[in-house]
């Protein structure tokens, strides 16, 4: 594909991510932080997010799998997940965390499990989308083009 086309696809895709609520303004902040000294900043941070989130989701699964669920621990994990997802702008993931914390307070294991399921889905979705976005970027760069800056 030629560069222009790639770039247009990129822009379009990016826009859809924002429109569909996968990403929010915080992601734009990350993009703005990226500069010549840190050209891979966004990828770097998002990768950190993936690692951290998967770890947290595993911990959550384990915690909710216990006979005696430690809801404080669950809540702490969810809180952290909320923080990191909001920091990179993974809006839908963040939005799942709020009801998750509520049911934690209620100490409702069933509801927690449902929330966990939902959050996992959202996480996988946004991970997929971001990876697609990064691939598009790489293609543009490989084709010799510049990655369009989204406003």
Partner 1 sequence: MNLGVGSVVKNMSGARCSVSWKSNDNNQFPAGLRVLVVDDDPTCLRILEKMLWNCHYEVTKSNRAESALSLLRENRNGFDIVISDVHMPDMDGFKLLEHVGLEMDLPVIMMSADDSKDVVMKGVTHGACDYLIKPVRIEALKNIWQHVIRKKKHEWKDKDFDQSATAEAGDRQQKPPEDVDYSSSANEGGNWKSSKRRKEEEDETEERDDSSSLKKPRVVWSVELHQQFVQAVNQLGIDKAVPKKILELMNVPGLTRENVASHLQKYRLYLRRLSGVSQHPNGLNNSFMGHPEATYGMSSFNGLELQALAATGQLPAQSLATLQAAALGRSATKAAISMPLVDQRNLFSFENPKLRFPEGQQQLNNSNKQINLLHGIPTTMEPKQLADLHQSSHSPSFVAMNMQGNSRVQQNNTLLMHMSQQQQQQPSRAQMLNETNNGSQVSRPPLSMSQQPLSSNGIPGAVLSRSGGIVANVRGPVYSPVSQASPMVDFSLNQNTELQNNSFPLVSSDSGMSTMTSKRMLQEEVNSDIRRSRGFPSDYNMFDELHPQKSQDWGLSSVGSTFNASHHSTIPGTLDISPSMLVQQGISSMKRNGQNGISPISNAFSSREESGNVNPMGGNLLTVKAEQLPDASYQSSFFPDQFGQDDLMSALLKQQESVGPVETEFGFDGYALDNLPV
Q: Kindly report the CA angle at 44 between 123 and 117, in degrees rounded to 5?
A: 10
Min CB(52)–partner 1 separation in Å: 5
Integer angstrom CA distances of residue 61 from 4, 28, 57, 132, 135: 44, 31, 6, 27, 30
Does 108 sit near partner 1 (CB under 8 A)?
no
Q: How far apart are CA 13 and CA 15, in angstroms?
A: 5
Q: How far apart are CA 151 and CA 119, in angstroms?
A: 28
Does 45 sit near partner 1 (CB under 8 A)?
yes
Binder among 4, 8, 12, 29 for partner 1 (CB under 8 A): 29
Question: How much of the chain is helix, strand and coil, in % rounded to 5?
Answer: 80, 5, 20
Binder among 12, 20, 40, 44 for partner 1 (CB under 8 A): 44
Which residue in this structure is represented by tokens 């702490």?
A: 76
Site string for partner 1, 47-86 (x = CB under 8 A): -xx-xx-----------------------x--xx-xxx-x
Of 8-16, 30-38, 121-129, 142-150: span binding partner 1 (CB under 8 A): 30-38
Binder among 11, 31, 41, 141 for partner 1 (CB under 8 A): 41
Binding footprint of partner 1 on the chain (CB under 8 A)? 26, 29-30, 32-33, 35-38, 41, 44-45, 48-49, 51-52, 76, 79-80, 82-84, 86-89
């Amino acid at each position: 594909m030629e560069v222009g086309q790639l770039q247009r696809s990129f822009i379009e895709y990016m826009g859809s991510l924002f429109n569909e609520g996968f990403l929010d303004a915080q992601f734009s902040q990350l993009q703005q932080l990226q500069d010549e000294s840190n050209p891979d900043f966004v990828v770097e941070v998002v990768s950190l997010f993936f690692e951290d989130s998967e770890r947290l989701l595993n911990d959550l699964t384990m915690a909710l799998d216990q006979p005696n669920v430690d809801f404080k621990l669950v809540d702490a994990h969810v809180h952290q997940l909320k923080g990191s997802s909001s920091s990179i702008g993974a809006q839908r993931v963040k939005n799942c965390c709020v009801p998750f914390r509520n049911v934690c307070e209620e100490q409702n294991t069933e509801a927690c499990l449902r929330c966990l399921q939902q959050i996992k889905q959202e996480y996988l979705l946004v991970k997929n989308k971001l990876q697609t976005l990064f691939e598009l970027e790489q293609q543009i760069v490989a084709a010799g083009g510049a990655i369009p800056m989204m406003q």
